[in-house]
Structure 1
Amino acid sequence: MKKLILISALLLAGNNLMAQGFLNKLKQKAEDMASKTVDKGLEGKAKKNTEATSTSREPIKPENASGTPTTSLASTTTYDFVPGSKILLADNFAQDALGQFPLKWYTRSKGEVVTLNTVKGNWLRLYPGTFVSPVVNIGENATIEFDLIMNWPATGGYLVPAINFAFYDRGNKGEILSYDYRLKNCLRFGIAPYRSEAAVQLTSFENVAKKLESDKYRVANFDRKAGNVIHVAISIQNERVRIWLDQEKVFDLPQAAPLNGNLNQLKIDMSSSNYTNEQLGYYVSNFKFAEGSADNRSKLLTTGRLETSGILFAINSAEVKSDNEGTIKEVATAMTENPDLKIKIIGHTDAVGKPDANLILSIKRAESVRDALVKIYKIDAGRMETEGRGSTAPVSDDNSEAGKTSNRRVEFIKL
């Protein structure tokens, strides 16, 4: 009996122990699940924090003083070179024999007319030394354009040759025939490639003395231009000089050119280099010297009045057909740079036709010029007045075509 009671007690204790163990296991499992839930929550929170940190690494828009995000600063510009309409000299070496030096040019070095496999036309290949163009009187207002190719090895480590272009006076082979020849008036700019960029600098001389030496302008990624055509455009308007390389304006200098310089010849200098001639290729072609127009922008601002016959209209119409001198663009530039500038646009006609019809036509032509300033150049119409005077204020007689052309003009008056 006692044995039976002892066995029952042991079984009961075992069951209690098993039950207790079971309960402990349930408790542990619950704690583990709770721990895992907390860990999962912490992991999720950590993940969110990580994502937030990753997001915060993205560019943050700048804020102004009030904390409001502002837009990024940007600027825009335009290619405002206007070639002259009256050609003074054009030379693409088409008349010269291949392998020979051009008949109209001069040198005390070596050069030859060649063709290239990647571009059309004849090109003058330059070698280290000096080259001089034919004489051409460019006057105080002129435009000069030409194409340039500069090719050098992608590797090598030597300095790439610089090239200089100079316009000078008293030209007639003097710079070539005599090493003692002294330039009196000269406008010179040079291109010096170095590594991936090029430094461009302009120097001018007036009555022998140095007039101006510009800061160096850095053309980025110039190495990408190696072997490709670079279009050079130059505008000289009295003292003002502007130069573009592939439509990138590198200079706009208001007082650079020598006054009354009588510039009449182009001189090209190619510097020497440790590269061999076979490793280099410097070429020029497609020269175009033209008679330019005055600096209309400055004229309007300084004198308060600008008059032009270069804005051409369709016959007996107010439709603007062309703006040969770029006057409308220059006026737009002046108004953009001077927000307070207001103008009056006055239209004139010649005396051909009935006076009443001419008056109406002159009014409409003035309005057409205003509309061009509004639509093309985004000038506020409220800053402009228009007026027509028909044929009542001629500046020349109407007995010749030249006289009629002078009378068909547009005036811009600063208000």
Structure 2
Amino acid sequence: MKKLIFISALLLAGSNLMAQGFLNKLKQKAEDMASKTIDKAIEGKAKKNTESTDNNQTAAKTENGTGSSTSALTATTTYDFVPGSKVLLADNFAQDALGQFPLKWYTRSKGEVVTLNTAKGNWLRLYPGTFVSPVVNIGENFTIEFDLIMNWPAAGGYMVPAINFALYDRGNKGDILSYDYRLKNCLKFGIAPYRSEGAIQLTSYENVTKKLETDKYRVANFDRKVGNVIHVAISVQKERVRIWLDQEKIFDLPQAAPLNGNLNQLKIDMSSSNYTNEQLGYYVSNFRFAQGSADNRSKLLTTGRLETSGILFATNSAEVKSDNEGVIKEVAAAMTEDTDLKIKIIGHTDAVGKPEANLTLSTKRAESVRDALVKTYKINAERIETEGKGSTAPVTEDTSEEGKTKNRRVEFIKKQSHN
């Protein structure tokens, strides 16, 4: 009996121990789960804090300009070419016979005046070689404009020939007549098409020594210009040189042109190529050399008179071409600066057409210039008077295209104040 009681006690004690062990295990497991839950909570909070810090740092970088932004950066510019007011030479080859080389130009190669099915007027077709313009004394402040067409096979496999334009001194056909001729002062730029872009580079010489050679400016998508008219504009003000292609500014160089260079002739060089002449087509036309003006605004304010052929109108129209309103802008600046300034705008035409029609056209052109001052530059219309004189007051003979261009002009006259 005692033995049975003893065994029962042992079993009961064992059961208690097992139960206690089981409870201890449950307790430990619960503690472990709790610990893991707390750890996860801490890790989640830390991760959240880290993400928040990263987001704040990214936002700070973006705000400070050191990180990426959701909006793209853009820049705005303007076409600020202002053509010279006094025409020195104008040539669109209208006076030359088709199939012939222009009488005023020179070459030691081959060239001929042609018409094109995609562009108006006459064009000088260039072939590999050198071409020289008439001599023209352009001075130290001048502008030059012309149109260029370059055409080659789209699927061709050869290098496309480059074309160079150079203004040089002592022009008197010397560069054409002699291979030993050496340029003293020269300002040239070249266009070298390559695949889809065009590389443009400018070089200048002063007293036979190279003054400047620029880096190559690369015009993107130049292949889209193939077969189309490219408008070239050049402005030189003493040493400063600016060049535009289709209103894209290629160069703005403060010290590029040779000082006292006496540049007076334009030379065009077309490189040779493995393409045949029938596969290529390089053409130039609509040359306009003009004397530049340092500051038309000052001229109007100080002398009381400004005369310009730089405001161009559509043919037989009073519409002002938008890319040639630089002079109007300067007049507006003068009137903004001097709020008491009142002016008279006088329009002039060449002698082509009936006098009555020219008088009406010149009046409307003067009114168009006034309207530009009023609408675009917010000048009070009461400060502006207009008049048209047609072809009654020419400044030169009307027998050539150059003379007609000079006679098609606009005058700005400062009106005297009466106190």
1:184 alignment partner in structure 2: 184
Give the Cα separation in 1 of the matches to 2:415 and 2:205.
37
1:252 alignment partner in structure 2: 252
Question: How many angstroms does 1:69 deviate by?
Answer: 6.2
Of residues 384, 408, 415, the one that matches 2:414 is: 408
1:229 alignment partner in structure 2: 229
Give the Cα separation in 2 of the matches to 1:84 and 1:273.
36
Query: For 2:124, what is the secondary structure of its paired residue?
Result: strand
Matched, 1:64 2:77: no
Give the Cα separation in 2 of the matches to 1:406 and 1:220.
41
Pair 1:332–1:191, CA change in 2 (3 A) = farther
Give the Cα separation in 2 of the matches to 1:106 and 1:178.
13
Question: How many angstroms does 1:91 deviate by?
Answer: 0.6
Matched, 1:109 2:115: no
Which aligned pairs between 1:333-348 and structure 2 lie closer than 5 A?
345=338
2:406 alignment partner in structure 1: none
Structure 2 counterpart of 1:167, one-letter code:
L
Contact 2:163 2:191 in 1 (8 A): yes
2:7 alignment partner in structure 1: none
1:77 alignment partner in structure 2: 77
Query: For 2:63, what is the secondary structure of its paired residue?
Result: coil
1:14 alignment partner in structure 2: none
RMSD: 3.8
Instruction: Summarize deviations over 1:213-261 as a string: whole Å, max 9, x none.
Output: 1111100000111111101111111111111111111011111111111
Which aligned pairs between 1:29-178 and structure 2 lie closer than 5 A?
63-65=62-64, 71-178=71-178
Structure 2 counterpart of 1:267, one-letter code:
K
| TM, length-normalised to structure 1 | 0.60
Stretch of structure 1 that moved more, 185-194 or 71-80? 71-80
1:353 alignment partner in structure 2: none
Give the Cα separation in 1 of the matches to 2:157 and 2:215.
26
Query: For 1:176, what is the secondary structure of its paired residue?
Result: helix
Pair 1:348–1:63, CA change in 2 (3 A) = closer
Instruction: Summarize deviations over 1:14-65 as a string: whole Å, max 9, x none.
Output: xxxxxxxxxxxxxxxxxxxxxxxxxxxxxxxxxxxxxxxxxxxxxx9x9425
1:290 alignment partner in structure 2: 290
| Structure 2 gaps, min length 5 | 1-58, 309-319, 344-372, 379-410
Give the Cα separation in 2 of the matches to 1:240 and 1:311.
24
User: Which consecutive aligned stretches of 4+ in structure 1 deviate over 3 angstroms post-superposition?
Assistant: 65-71, 305-312, 324-333, 343-350, 375-378, 405-410
Pair 1:201–1:349, CA change in 2 (3 A) = same
Give the Cα separation in 2 of the matches to 1:118 and 1:91.
20
| Structure 1 gaps, min length 5 | 1-59, 300-304, 313-320, 334-342, 351-371, 379-404, 411-415
Query: For 1:255, what is the secondary structure of its paired residue?
Result: coil
Pair 1:123–1:226, CA change in 2 (3 A) = same
Question: How many angstroms does 1:84 deviate by?
Answer: 1.4
Give the Cα separation in 2 of the matches to 1:187 and 1:164.
11
Contact 1:64 1:70 in 2 (8 A): no
Structure 2 counterpart of 1:131, one-letter code:
F
Instruction: Summarize deviations over 1:126-153 as a string: whole Å, max 9, x none.
Output: 0000000001111111111111000001
Contact 2:115 2:123 in 1 (8 A): yes
Instruction: Summarize deviations over 1:268-325 as a string: whole Å, max 9, x none.
Output: 000001111111000001111111112689x9xxxxx99884499xxxxxxxx99x99
Contact 1:111 1:127 in 2 (8 A): yes
2:207 alignment partner in structure 1: 207
Instruction: Summarize deviations over 1:62-88 as a string: whole Å, max 9, x none.
Output: 942599966421111111111112111
Query: For 1:279, what is the secondary structure of its paired residue?
Result: coil
Contact 2:296 2:306 in 1 (8 A): no
- What is the aligned-residue identity percentage? 78
Pair 1:295–1:223, CA change in 2 (3 A) = farther
2:359 alignment partner in structure 1: none
Contact 1:307 1:409 in 2 (8 A): no
Contact 1:82 1:326 in 2 (8 A): yes
Matched, 1:270 2:297: no
Structure 2 counterpart of 1:200, one-letter code:
I
Q: Which has the higher contact order (CA 8 A, sep 6+)?
A: 2
Contact 2:83 2:290 in 1 (8 A): yes
Give the Cα separation in 1 of the matches to 2:140 and 2:327.
18
1:48 alignment partner in structure 2: none
Contact 2:306 2:412 in 1 (8 A): no
Question: How many angstroms does 1:112 deviate by?
Answer: 0.6
Structure 1 counterpart of 2:63, one-letter code:
N
Pair 1:203–1:105, CA change in 2 (3 A) = same
| TM, length-normalised to structure 2 | 0.59
Contact 2:111 2:127 in 1 (8 A): yes
